[in-house]
Structure 1
Amino acid sequence: MVVLVLGGTGKTGLHLVQQLLARNVKVRTIVRSPEKLPIEVARHSELAVTTAKVLEMSDEALVEQLKDCTAVVSCLGHEGTYQGMCGKASRFLVYDVLRRVCRGIGELQSPAKVILMSTGLYTNPDNDEDVKIRNTCGQRALLCMLSTCLPPHNDNMRAAEFLRTELKGMEWCAVRPELLIDGEVSQYELRDSLVCSIFSAGQTSRANVAHFMCELVQNPSAWQKWRGRFPVIYNAAVS
């Protein structure tokens, strides 16, 4: 089993890399700053690190990374700088990388799973969430403000819609955490749909998000249940 993790030095991506390695899974990761990896992780015998920006890699180099992969997991996010949030090159980082990765998987005719760390602010029209969540002036105003003032929000929405409407012939899952917090792996719950208000979101530890994505990679029953869907994950204790 080989898993390619994108965004492996991020707060959630690092949890995922560590948990996969603890499960004896071979991990590849493409990162911009490998020095952000803890020494014990960077030196792990089952980890292969490539230093690059995915969008600047050639098609051939990216396809080479995708060869023999069981799954590709994107934990990509935007840097907390003006350029990282609003710069033209990074405006649709998650969407553009996801599209390139899926094209590469298609070229290889690979059965690799695609797992996206999405957002609890994405409303899935297939569950009528866009109607339920946007049915008050306050919620509509907040989502409009995010779309106008926060480019990463539009990027995340576009990536999720790409999976829902454009990806054909591949198996995928988009995990929707609610308010992300630090913490260890604990009990968590999964929902098929969002609650009826974006103002009542629960908390989700990054470690729990990583744990669930590990289950999607390794556990056939978990994948069978959640493939092609947008599970919402939240800490059980908070609920």
Structure 2
Amino acid sequence: MHVTVFGGTGGTGVECIKQLLAADHSVAALVRSPEKLSDEIKVDPNFTMHVGNVLEEKECEKALAESNIVIVALGGNMRAPADQKSICRTAQPVINKAVNAACADARVIAVSSLGTGDSYQHINWMTRKFVDWVLYEQIAHKEVQEASIKDTIRTWTIVRPGGLTDGASIGKWEASRTVSGGRISRADVAKFIIQECLTGDKWQNRAVSIVSK
């Protein structure tokens, strides 16, 4: 497979790149800050790095050459400048246009968040409190991102992880539409995407929530 990753210097994006390369997939990434990627990734013969801005459609198209899988792992840090907080919202329509121009048949897998969309009705009171009082701004941006994908991408999967950690992969998770709350490592989110979302129709054109078992 040839996979393009957007958001490849973030925690989940890096895990996706590392695990994809370990599985001998060809990986390209559009990054704004190449210094955030390890030399181990940069020198891998199956990795192609494009330095550029995810808000520029032509730069996204270059990174998408020959791709049949697109992973969007963008995230808006709460302490980031305003333009970076909203990057999921502002970049997704640009990525969508580039995908439809360069590889309309590609499958797009986007990392969103538990509490977004119809997952909100299933989360427990503790998770709901955190979503309402702490993550409300990021969730609002994710809502727009998800809607953009559903409206304009032919084949997609939206992955909504619970609280993200930097822990090691344990390879066990609960994945469904009705997850109520919990945490999961970025490594396991990447593993879930690679094992269950790259091919097949189990999660095709569906949103799935995921936490560790």
Secondary structure of the 2:207 match is coil
Secondary structure of the 2:149 match is helix
| 1:181-239 residue CA offsets vs partner (Å, 9 max, x unmatched) | 1222223224322345xxxx222111110011112454x33xx1001111112212xxx
| 1:83-121 residue CA offsets vs partner (Å, 9 max, x unmatched) | 1xxx1x334311222211111222235211111011012
Q: Which residue of 1 aligns with 2:73?
A: 75
Secondary structure of the 1:225 match is coil
Structure with the higher helix share, 1 or 2: 1
Letter in 1 for 2:184: T
Q: Which residue of 1 aligns with 2:204?
A: 227
| 1:12-57 residue CA offsets vs partner (Å, 9 max, x unmatched) | 11111000000111111111211111111111111111122211x3
Secondary structure of the 2:152 match is coil
Q: Which residue of 2 aligns with 1:44?
A: 44
Q: 2-side partners of 1:94 and 1:139: how far apart?
A: 21
Instruction: Kindly indicate whether residue 105 of structure 2 is the aligned counterpart of residue 119 of structure 1.
Output: no
Q: 2-side partners of 1:132 and 1:42: how far apart?
A: 41
Instruction: Kindly indicate whether residue 199 of structure 2 is the aligned counterpart of residue 213 of structure 1.
Output: no
Are the aligned partners of 1:71 and 1:217 in contact in 2 as well (CA < 8 Å)? no
Counting aligned pairs with the same residue, the percent is 25
Q: 2-side partners of 1:205 and 1:143: how far apart?
A: 18
Offset at 1:130? Answer: 4.6
TM-score computed with the length of structure 1 as normaliser: 0.79
Are the aligned partners of 1:6 and 1:29 in contact in 2 as well (CA < 8 Å)? yes
Secondary structure of the 2:170 match is coil
Q: 2-side partners of 1:6 and 1:142: how far apart?
A: 27
Q: Which residue of 2 aligns with 1:186?
A: 170
Q: 1-side partners of 2:65 and 2:196: how far apart?
A: 20
Q: Which residue of 2 aligns with 1:90?
A: 84
Q: 2-side partners of 1:109 and 1:90: how far apart?
A: 26
Larger Rg: 1
State the aligned residue count. 213
- Change in Cα spacing, 1:65 to 1:132, as seen in structure 2 (3 Å) is closer
RMSD, matched Cα: 2.4
Q: 2-side partners of 1:81 and 1:130: how far apart?
A: 24
1:143-154 matched pairs, under 5 angstroms: 143-146=131-134, 150-154=136-140
Aligned match of 1:105 in 95, 99, 106?
Answer: 99
Offset at 1:144? Answer: 4.3
Gaps of 5+ in 1: none
Q: 2-side partners of 1:167 and 1:188: how far apart?
A: 32
Q: Which residue of 2 aligns with 1:167?
A: 152
Offset at 1:139? Answer: 7.3
